[in-house]
A and B are shown apart, each in its own frame.
Chain A
Amino acid sequence: MSIEISQLSKTYNQESDFPVHAVKSLDLTIEQGEFVAVMGPSGSGKTTLLNMIGGIDTPTSGSVLIDSENICELDDKALIAFRRDHVGFIFQDYSLLPVLTALENVEFVMQLQGLSEKVCRARASELLTMVGLGEQMHKVPSKLSGGQQQRVAVARALAPRPRFVMADEPTANLDAKSTSELLDIMQSLNEKEGTTFIFSTHDQRVIKRAKRVIVFEDGKLTEDKQQ
């Protein structure tokens, strides 16, 4: 699995007098199994970049090749299927379905792939156990702490065996302890399952744990370092 980004640009309000160039002619390659942090000041374009890689937003120009397939050319329906099968999402506010239990939340995204109930159940409980929620899987999100909810979200993102996981500021709402627990889990999944993680953050503690850090400023890449 590889992600090849070339000459990627995104301009909001293109037609208006004040166009916003959120991402400017970006070139970037991410390989299978990487654990990448995207950092940068607010408004630098991190979310915009992640959205384009994850097939949520479409670029103004340039291309995103996932295993040589240009996802910028997919239509809405094909993009949904692409996201369903190949991308895991973790959101800042957890974004679990409030009426489903932790287990059902994880199962749901697999059922969208058409997997059998039995397979979904087995993998969902395996993942929830892995993230340390073996005892809590029948609780609805409102009965879980923020850190626990975000761990459910990690399990949900991993469940469909995606090629990579996108996490836009996954720890922004978590305290220090939950943050480090979550990073432990993400790291071990990255190592065990070989899943690629790409996450944006402001948090220095998170950046320290990343293997590769990309620094973004005003829509441009200013630093790209392995650590």
Chain B
Amino acid sequence: MLFKLAWRNLWRQKRRTLLTALALSLALFLSLFMRSMQEGSYENNIDNSARFSTGLLQLQNPEFSESQSIEDLLPGTTDFITPVTAPPLSPHITHHLPRIESFALASASERAKGVMVFGVEPERENSYSGIADKLIAGEFIDADDKQVLVGEGLARFLSIKLGDELVLYGQGYRGQTAAGLYKVKGIIHFPLAAMDNQLVYMPIKLAQTLYSTGEQVTSWVLHTDSLDMVAEVKSELVQAFGSKVNVRDWQQLSPEMAQQIAMDKAGGVFMMYLLYGVVGFGLFATILMMTLERQREFGVMLATGLLRRKLLGLIAIESGFIALIGVLIGLIITLPVVTYFHYHPIQLTGETAQLMLEMGWEPIIPMMLSFSLVFDQVKIVLGLMFICLLYPLWRAYRIDLVSALKGDSYG
């Protein structure tokens, strides 16, 4: 009965009810659209940059993050990595790549330079990052090659071409000397200058020989089937490997990107609350008017036996209906739009697009289609309604029967 009464009461002021609901819908549309775009672009960036270098998760020796030293290693054996390749984790981990990452001094003919040496499993690495596409000369390496790939900038600096040799010299495992002479099999163009100028890529076996690490690696790079799974997979990895392994996620591996995303997100969320704040005033005004203009009607209901809490219930249901209509209309207009842009991502143009293209990334912003983003909006609208209800409900609760009945604000 209260629901029927509330529903009909809404339509006593059709225009006001609809306008208020539509304002909510609009706020929901703008917020959800913006948040879906934000989260979609974060996800895209995180995924791109994970594939480009760090992965979403890494297993490292607990000392390695501090020391970056070739002394602090993990086993590179299939035995060691079984927790990753066996259920229950295996369905969620799409890639696991062993790597050696260390430093060396590279020299050729007259010049020398400090470089980063990446020892990788060529085929698996390529299927993860598509690095072979960035070759500008020569060929990609095979697992058993004794040759290396170098960044274009580095090759220029050292004045070496395909087939030339370079000497790598550094410190190996347990203080052994790491030294070797390698032929250049290919030259790679990295879009990031820092990498282009100092990267040497080689098969992991060759790197293990160079640094005398045996079967050990500096890290295992992991990728999950979705970004949302990272936290869960991380905690399971921590359980599975215990304290002998440091499990680091992309936030720890790329703190700058994580911070940038956090800032950007905070900006978006602030805008969203601002928007809802403005719309909230409209909602508040409507609910307050609905209450104040019906003092006499409420008085009559109380006189004829409606309990005060039911009266408050009636007002809450009426507001709830407005919020519900707002959310429904909002979702009806937003979901198709977000879904469309999820499957047909917005194409970027101009400088950003150029930059992304150079990185080898598609210049697009896919929209995120996520239940939790939608649910967030619904929660915000409900929260907003709750706040807007407090004062009107208090006013209704405090209605003085005698003066309410005397008043003539009926109907």
Seen from chain A, the residues whose Cβ lies within 8 Å of a Cβ on chain B are 51, 54, 56-57, 76-77, 80-81, 83-85, 89, 91, 93, 95, 97-100, 108-109, 111-113, 156, 160
A-B contact pairs, 5 of them (CB 8 A): A77-B307, A84-B304, A89-B300, A100-B5, A112-B304
State A104–B296 Cα separation when bound (angstroms). 19
Chain A residue numbers with a CB within 8 Å of B302 are: 80
Count how many chain B residues have C-beta atoms less than 8 Å from C-beta atoms of the other chain. 23
Task: Say whether B405 faces chain A, with CB atoms less than 8 Å apart.
Answer: yes
A99 pairs with B401, CB closer than 8 A: no
In the complex, per-residue mask of B77-93: 1 if CB is within 8 Å of any chain A CB, else 0: 00000000000000000
B402 pairs with A51, CB closer than 8 A: yes
B303 pairs with A85, CB closer than 8 A: no
Chain A residue numbers with a CB within 8 Å of B8 are: 99-100
Task: Say whether B242 faces chain A, with CB atoms less than 8 Å apart.
Answer: no
Task: Say whether B1 faces chain A, with CB atoms less than 8 Å apart.
Answer: yes
A113-B305 contact in complex given A56-B405, A91-B300, A99-B5, C-beta closer than 8 Å: yes
Chain B residue numbers with a CB within 8 Å of A97 are: 5, 297, 300-301
Seen from chain B, the residues whose Cβ lies within 8 Å of a Cβ on chain A are 1, 5, 8-9, 11-12, 296-297, 300-308, 401-402, 405, 408, 410-411
A98 pairs with B12, CB closer than 8 A: yes
State A97–B307 Cα separation when bound (angstroms). 16
State A109–B306 Cα separation when bound (angstroms). 8
B9 pairs with A99, CB closer than 8 A: yes
A130 vs chain B, min Cβ distance (A): 19
Chain B residue numbers with a CB within 8 Å of A89 are: 300, 303-304
State A89–B306 Cα separation when bound (angstroms). 13
Chain A residue numbers with a CB within 8 Å of B307 are: 77, 80-81
Which single residue of chain B is at the shortest CB-CB distance from A79? B401
A111 pairs with B405, CB closer than 8 A: no
B309 vs chain A, min Cβ distance (A): 9
A109 pairs with B411, CB closer than 8 A: no
State A186–B411 Cα separation when bound (angstroms). 26
State A100–B402 Cα separation when bound (angstroms). 24
B1 pairs with A108, CB closer than 8 A: yes
A90 vs chain B, min Cβ distance (A): 11
Chain A residue numbers with a CB within 8 Å of B408 are: 93
State A107–B157 Cα separation when bound (angstroms). 93
Chain B residue numbers with a CB within 8 Å of A108 are: 1, 5, 304
B305 pairs with A112, CB closer than 8 A: yes
From B9, B300, B402, A95 is in contact (CB under 8 Å) with B300
A56-B305 contact in complex given A95-B300, A108-B1, C-beta closer than 8 Å: no
State A56–B399 Cα separation when bound (angstroms). 12
State A156–B300 Cα separation when bound (angstroms). 12
Chain A residue numbers with a CB within 8 Å of B11 are: 99
Which single residue of chain A is at the shortest CB-CB distance from B401? A56
A190 vs chain B, min Cβ distance (A): 20
A83 pairs with B304, CB closer than 8 A: yes
Which single residue of chain B is at the shortest CB-CB distance from A95? B300
A98 pairs with B405, CB closer than 8 A: no
From A85, A93, A99, B305 is in contact (CB under 8 Å) with A85
| Given contact pairs A93-B410, A100-B5, a sample of 6 additional A-B residue pairs in the complex whose CB atoms are under 8 Å apart | A51-B402, A57-B401, A57-B402, A81-B307, A97-B301, A113-B305
State A76–B303 Cα separation when bound (angstroms). 11
Chain B residue numbers with a CB within 8 Å of A99 are: 5, 8-9, 11-12
B308 pairs with A109, CB closer than 8 A: no
State A54–B401 Cα separation when bound (angstroms). 12
State A51–B11 Cα separation when bound (angstroms). 33
B313 vs chain A, min Cβ distance (A): 13
Chain A residue numbers with a CB within 8 Å of B411 are: 98
Chain B residue numbers with a CB within 8 Å of A113 are: 305
State A160–B306 Cα separation when bound (angstroms). 13
Chain A residue numbers with a CB within 8 Å of B305 are: 80-81, 83-85, 109, 112-113, 160
